[in-house]
Amino acid sequence: MSDKTARGTKELRLPGSVAEVMASPPGPRVGAFFDVDGTLVAGFTGVILTRERFRNGDMGVGELIGMVAAGLNHQFGRMEFEGLINKATEVLRGRPLSDLQQIGERLFVEKIEKRIYPEMRDLVHAHMERGHTVVLSSSALTIQVEPVARYLGIPNVLTNRFDVDDDGVLTGDVVTPILWGPGKANAVQQFAADHDIDLKASYFYADGDEDLALMHLVGNPRPTNPGDKMAEVAGKRGWPILRFSSRGRGGLLGQVRTLLGVGSIVPAAYGAVGWGLLTRSRRRGVNFFTSAFPQMLLGINGVRLNILGEDNLTKKRPAVFIFNHRNNFDPVVVGSMVKDNWTGVGKKELQNDPVVGTIGKLVDTVFIDRDDPKKAVESLHQAEELTRKGLSVVIAPEGTRMDTRSVGQFKKGPFRLAMAAGVPIVPIVIRNAEVLSARDSSTLHPGTVDIVVYPPLSLRDWTLDNLNDKIAEVRQLYVDTLADWPVDEVPKAGIYARRVRAPRKPGTATGKARSARPAAKAVKGAAPAKKAASKKAAAKTSAPTKTVAKKTAAKKTAAKKTAAKKTAAKKTAARKTVAKKTAARKAVAKKTVADSTATRKAPRGRR
């Protein structure tokens, strides 16, 4: 696309386009038509299908050469699309349709699912939430399109279909009319008429120049990753353009960027060793690595983090940091936030990975054998000991990567670890990590990830009896946050409300001690409680009552003063009497002592 076109075209980005859809008129009369290749999926499913068939020995060299030649002829305008698709189906004559459907399903799971743009998936679901009629309209064949439709939950499909006989075997032809260019536009018009869809209120997302005719039919044309001709028309007509780069290999620049990011492990490791030797502390060296490498990897690949509640990361350490898991780079994202004095928990299979396993051993990662419950518990005890030594733990309670808009079930391990170690959990909610990478992909793409870090959550009132309910509350926090994403500040969640301390089991020393404390406090606090009650009662009385109360109080005060004077007088008289008696006793004592002394000094004769 030329610079002039770029300047004259309004670039439509997420979440703006989703917000636009959510503000559009609701109901099934609004249609949302999506192309597949280059629009929903990065690349072309036909090329993927051909390549994989050849790799698996399902296609000979001669057939491959013929398909490549036909593709080039179509690309250079020497063959119409009808000729290309017929060439592809002729070589499949005699094959059961069920066999090809199985191939299509397998290729979708292995190759195509990871190529679906997460931004486009969000748009599809936004249209569904508005009750729009969502349709996949593609010139590809059913084995390429239908798995995508099932994955996205799209019930309506307009696509080219194999012609089969009564036994479900391919005849080598394609059902006519073939959907391409004007033929595809006609099919969409017919579908709209049959389903009472208002095309002037509808949307169409596509990338190919052949879809320009359909772009003119709808009221909301949305060129997506368009070619040169469509981009030029979009610029002239002011159609907003969507461009995504979150899937595919990202071209040469993307591959170089990924290699540089992974390669940053070398300087990070050297720096860690040097700092560790200089400070004579292995932990300081590890902290250098855990702080430097994640940030270098994300920075080189153009990843930005939009964090709400960043100060909650350091409020309480050590802690168990939990996060919802989407792809291979989630732990890197969380590690770049936690920075130092942390370790991770991962599945045992990663221990043998040359990169992840090596890094894991350096940072004391605990690897869990999920197939052996006994060993898994022992591994959690190991993590508990590290926590007692002051290390925080980063762990995903879902246990495995979830390529879904929802939240998987939380396992008990992270929470029991926090309870045993006596540390809080810190919930970290990640909204759109799939923008950076697909679930099983090792390619990292540029993008901005939205993250909410909730305050540390104390587990003091958690017990084995209420553990399941408490975990469900934490999981619901993730569900609610993802459903209604905060903008300016961390929401005040109900699970942080003040909780009553759980009762201890009777018979234990701790239980007796905790039970005795409230009882002692209750006895000591009885009198203040009565005074407080008197104050509240006095506050509720009327004005006349207050006046009477004041007079009564005055009388009582005067009476108290009189009584006090009499008491003081009595005490004074008593003190004088005691003093006189004491003086008399002392005088008698002195006289006795004097007589005794005189007797000792007198001559014997006089005694």
Same-domain pairing of 462 and 510: no
Which residues in 280-304 are b (16+ Cβ under 10 Å) and which e? eeeebbbbbbbbbbbbbbbebbbbe
* β-sheet bridge partners, residue 176: none
Same domain flag for 212 and 313: no
Integer CA distances (angstroms), 268 to 209, 291, 442, in order:
47, 9, 20
Cβ-based neighbours of 110, under 8 Å, separated by 6 or more: 52
The two structure tokens encoding residue 159: 């696509």
Distances (CA, A) of 447 to 6, 299, 305, 328: 20, 11, 9, 15
In this structure, the answer to whether residues 309 and 351 fall within a common structural domain is yes
Alpha helices in 264-366 (DSSP H): 265-279, 282-300, 330-338, 356-362
- Per the confidence metrics, is the pTM higher than 0.85? no
596 within some domain: no
Q: Following DSSP, what letter does each residue of 290-307 receive, concatenated?
A: HHHHHHHHHHHTTEEEEE
CA dihedral 200, 203, 205, 211 (to 10 degrees): -20
- pLDDT for position 355: 66
Whether residue 396 is found in the same domain as residue 513: no
CA pair distance 555, 558, nearest whole angstrom: 5
Give the structural domain span for 571: 542-586
Is 604 part of any domain?
Answer: no
DSSP H helices in 153-250: 182-194, 212-217, 228-237
Same domain? For 476 and 510 the reply is no
Regarding whether 28 and 136 lie in a shared domain, the answer is yes
In angstroms, the CA 344 to CA 338 distance is 11
Exposed/middle/buried for residue 476 (C-beta within 10 Å: 0-12, 13-18, 19+):
middle
Residues 6+ apart with CB under 8 A from 374: none
491 and 513 part of one domain = no
pLDDT in tens, 493-547: 989 985 544 444 444 444 443 444 443 344 334 444 434 444 443 344 444 444 4
Q: Indicate the number of domains in the chain.
A: 4
Q: List Cβ<8 Å contacts ≥24 apart for 281-285.
A: 283/341
Map residue 20 onto helix, strand or coil. helix
Per-residue pLDDT, 255: 67
What confidence score (pLDDT) does residue 31 get?
97
Is 289 contained in some domain?
no
Query: pLDDT at position 252, please?
Result: 60
Angstrom distance (rounded) from CA 93 to CA 174: 11
- Distances 575 to 82, 566, 582 between C-alpha atoms, Å: 127, 14, 10
Same domain, 313 and 197: no
Helical spans, DSSP H, in 141-281: 142-152, 182-194, 212-217, 228-237, 251-263, 265-279
**What pLDDT, in 10s, does the model give residues 410-428?**
999 999 999 999 999 999 9
Do 36 and 181 fall into the same domain? yes
For residues 298 and 46, give the distance between their C-alpha atoms in angstroms, rounded to a whole number: 33
pLDDT of residue 375: 77
- Cβ density class 72-107: b for 16+ within 10 Å, e for less: eebeeeebebbebbbbbbebbeebebeebbebbeeb
The ranges of the chain with pLDDT < 50 are: 1-16, 500-574, 576-579, 581-582, 584, 586-607
Q: Is residue 255 part of a domain?
A: no
Q: Does residue 276 fall inside a structural domain?
A: no
Both tokens of residue 32? Answer: 């949302």
Amino acid symbol at 130: R
Residues 477 and 567 in one domain: no
* Geometric angle at alpha carbon 440, from 439 and 446, rounded to 5°: 65
Torsion 522-528-531-536 (CA) sign:
negative
Supply 292's token pair. Answer: 């430097």
Domain assignment present for residue 242? The answer is: no
Residue 217's pLDDT is: 93
For 265-286, the pLDDT digits (tens) are 888 888 988 999 999 999 999 9
Residue 195 lies in a domain: yes
Same domain, 64 and 191: yes
**Domain CATH number, residue 197:** 3.40.50.1000
Q: For residue 431, what is the domain's CATH number?
A: 3.40.1130.10
Q: Which pLDDT score is estimated for 223?
A: 94
**Predicted local confidence at residue 524, as pLDDT:** 39
Question: Of the candidates 383, 305, 314, 373, which has an alpha carbon nearest to the alpha carbon of residue 343?
Answer: 383
| 68 within a domain of the structure (yes/no) | yes
The Cα 431–Cα 434 span in angstroms is 9
- Say if residue 131 is in the same domain as residue 182: yes
Dihedral sign computed on CA atoms, order 253, 255, 256, 257: positive
